[in-house]
Structure 1
């Protein structure tokens, strides 16, 4: 017997996917993107909350206290995901989709203690796309996420030991998701488009308690979005609304100079993905609850260590290794998010063209550990009438480039 999803089934499936979103290459666990700093990526983001680079202010706004003149930094990341799903009774499909993810930063000292900064980043996003006809098409075909986070920040250097920072986050979040409404070949899509804007904050501190040593702690708050949009199916178009809260993030970093040329770094990063538990979905017109979404995430963790070595006054090399605990397990892994735990290997290089200009390059390899099981069966809240099981394989390469520029005078004649 062929199962034919109703509009109610389509609501449930589409909105589950909306909240899961679409980045199974999982550079930052779940649907997060860890693509904010080429220098940081070169050492698996080890020690970023305790570092000096302008782009490290994403993890800790107190980093801005190290800026001594007007600076800008641009980062570009090209992501090459190799993500496959191997259904139990069908052919393997590749759902990975490459992407270009940029980031921009600016900082300007206001006086000897205070520095104003600004970042524009994309903390969540990317895309996956399965073939039109495949074994899991009623659970997902195409997914897209787009986010922009504008983050003005202010740091204050209390003394030579302690600096603090604070910022305001304004984040736009948009999703477009499709899945088949039937299991037959070339079945039409159900499609959701929804977006919303949310506001949050970030805080941080840096300590330099001993010679050559720095400890940094940064916090990015959760951001709640009221997503409004439409669900389109072969039966028509309906208004849709759901609340999605992106998780809080805490980053602890340490850095230690061993001598004039060599430094070691470490990071522990916690992401509060477990707050994405059960999400109610509403009809925007009637206000009634259409369904609840039991995402059942767990918190994500990253542990990384790295080192830097100055070959000369112009060239610095770095490398790092990390271990990431994914926010989903065998009970919650999805066809759009088949993420296992991962090992992260990174290497990078900085070239100081002049006192004012530095180029950063990095390459990162994210390797999934084992075959992540995807199982959807009767009794699972995601179940749409067709049992589905598969294993997944993940291997993601990220190439990053960054350009840092310092200026002796401020723009627009500011003094």
Structure 2
């Protein structure tokens, strides 16, 4: 029994090390490339995120390009609530050695999520504005069933990120403005993974858990130029944010396993420890263009580069003195491109639509069950209704199409090799309101 316990402990130690390394990375997202989120405003979603760097329609410009705040002539508050309904299904197998891992591939492997965005602008003078933005630029939750065929690769993958930005903008000339400010970012992540220790499956698998959080600081800076009365261009840079993520890792031992193999349970408990890792959220550069074709009809576009290639490797350092774990990621930097249009059918009613392409940082060779990411295409529609002179209501719907996502991945020898394909799509809705005062 003791020999089996030590062998079980050794196998769990290896998978828990990989688990710890994975948790500091976070997980893939069904809404934007990598584990990013773009949903922060109904207006953004309606145009499939086109023109965010140059529109400057409302207070959300305090987040996308602070320089656009000089276009707002009143104090303004903007808030949106967003529902994200993704669908991820896996078809394939997991093999440990020559044997197939028993389990299911049925069901949706991801949960619906809710996000929100709140933005404000204070008009100190016609040329000087102050603002704030609070939203969730990263996040998602993947929840594989406990009998998932890939449970030794991953179960729960959760990340929560909340960003708060303070901004100021100044009109340098009649045509040119600048803006920027600090960004405070809270990052929290949790990961679980079944441990393949080779004992009787009737007892249930032990489950490794890892979690951690941190607060980091960055900045955002932008500029806007009014080319002519109906045309403007914007550029914005959002800095990378470095996090020293600190947390713990431990193994949950099922009661039947603890009763039937107390030596194994005792050895698994010795894997509990604290750990930390340095994680850098990527910086990005956005360029946007907005043009009024007529007083009723406008077109807009955005181009964005995101520095995802920063995630070459994640290094986890246990504070207990256990060996450091390195987990290669080999992500690539990505491009996002979008085009949108607005048409004012009535004086108080504007229809909006847009289309965008969002490149994935994950290459086919390095796709994992925690990041089953692929290129995606967004199609958005929405409307803005001016119910009162100083009150606008907004609604939006966004559908996301994903490219095929094949997988051939091995997290560790005891986790096995998972082979197959992920099928992904997502629907999102948003309701928002803007109040001027």
Q: Are residues 1:230 and 2:264 paired?
A: no
Give deviations 1:115-161, integer Å, cap 9, x for gaps.
Answer: 11011111111201001012110111012211211111111111221
- The alpha carbon displacement at 1:324 in A equals 1.3
* Offset, 1:75: 1.1
TM-superposition CA deviations, 1:278-318 (whole Å, max 9, x none): 121101243x6511121111112211111100011110001
Q: Report what 1:356 is aligned to.
A: 390
The reply on whether 1:39 has 2:39 as its aligned counterpart is no
> What residue is the counterpart of 2:419 in the other structure?
389
Q: Secondary structure at the match of 1:122?
A: strand
Aligned to 2:155: 141
Deviation at 1:176, TM superposition (A): 1.2
2:208 to 173, 177, 190: 190
Where does the alignment leave 5 or more consecutive residues of structure 1 unmatched? 408-415
Question: Are positions 1:320 and 2:354 aligned together?
Answer: yes
Say if 2:326 is the partner of 1:292.
yes
RMSD over equivalenced CA pairs, Å? 1.9
SS of 2:392's equivalent in the other structure is: strand
For the residues of structure 1 that align with 2:153 and 2:61, how far apart are their CA atoms?
Answer: 38
Shift of 1:57: 2.8
1:72 corresponds to which residue? Answer: 77
In the alignment of these two chains, the number of paired residues is 400
Counting only pairs closer than 5 Å after superposition, residues 7-406 of structure 1 correspond to structure 2 as 7-25=12-30, 27-52=31-56, 53-88=58-93, 91-93=104-106, 94-182=108-196, 184=201, 186-233=204-251, 234=253, 235-236=268-269, 237-286=272-321, 290-369=324-403, 371-377=404-410, 384-406=414-436
8 A contact 1:13–1:139 mirrored in 2:
no
Aligned residue for 1:29, secondary structure, equals coil
Could you list the per-position Cα deviations for residues 381-410 of structure 1 after superposition, in whole angstroms to 9, with x for gaps in the alignment?
766551111200111001011110011xxx
Closer, same or farther: CA 87–71 of 1 in aligned 2, 3 Å:
same
User: In structure 1, how many angstroms separate the alpha carbons of the residues matched to 2:208 and 2:138?
Assistant: 23
Distance 1:225 1:323 in 2: 29
SS state of the match for residue 267, structure 1? strand
| d(CA) in 2 for partners of 1:340, 1:55 | 28
Structure 1 or 2: more helix by fraction: 2
Cα distance between partner residues in 2 of 1:384 and 1:117: 52
Asked if structure 1 preserves the Cα contact closer than 8 Å seen for 2:67 and 2:222, the reply is: yes
How many angstroms does 1:374 deviate by? 1.4
| TM-score (normalizing by structure 2) | 0.88
Q: For each residue in 1:25-83, what CA deviation from the matched residue of structure 2 results, as whole angstroms up to 9, or x when unmatched?
A: 1x221111111121111011111100122213322111211221111111111000111
Greater Cα radius of gyration, structure 1 or 2: 2
Which secondary structure state, in structure 1, belongs to the residue aligned with residue 131 of structure 2? strand
Counterpart Cα distance in 1 of 2:123 and 2:153: 51
Taking a change above 3 Å as real, the CA distance of residues 347 and 283 of structure 1, as seen in their structure-2 partners, is: same
With over 3 angstroms needed to count, the CA separation of the structure-2 counterparts of 1:289 and 1:166, relative to structure 1, is farther
- Distance in 1 of aligned mates of 2:186 and 2:110: 24
The answer to which of 396-405 and 15-24 deviates more is 15-24
Give yes or no for contact 1:20–1:31 (8 Å, CA) kept in 2. Answer: no
Task: Check the 8 A contact 2:221/2:237 in 1, yes or no.
Answer: yes
- Partner SS for 1:68: coil
> 3-state SS of the aligned residue for 2:67?
helix
Contact 1:62/1:155 (CA < 8 Å) preserved in 2? yes
Local SS of the residue matching 1:58: helix
SS of aligned partner of 2:309: helix
CA contact (8 A) 1:280 1:289 kept: no
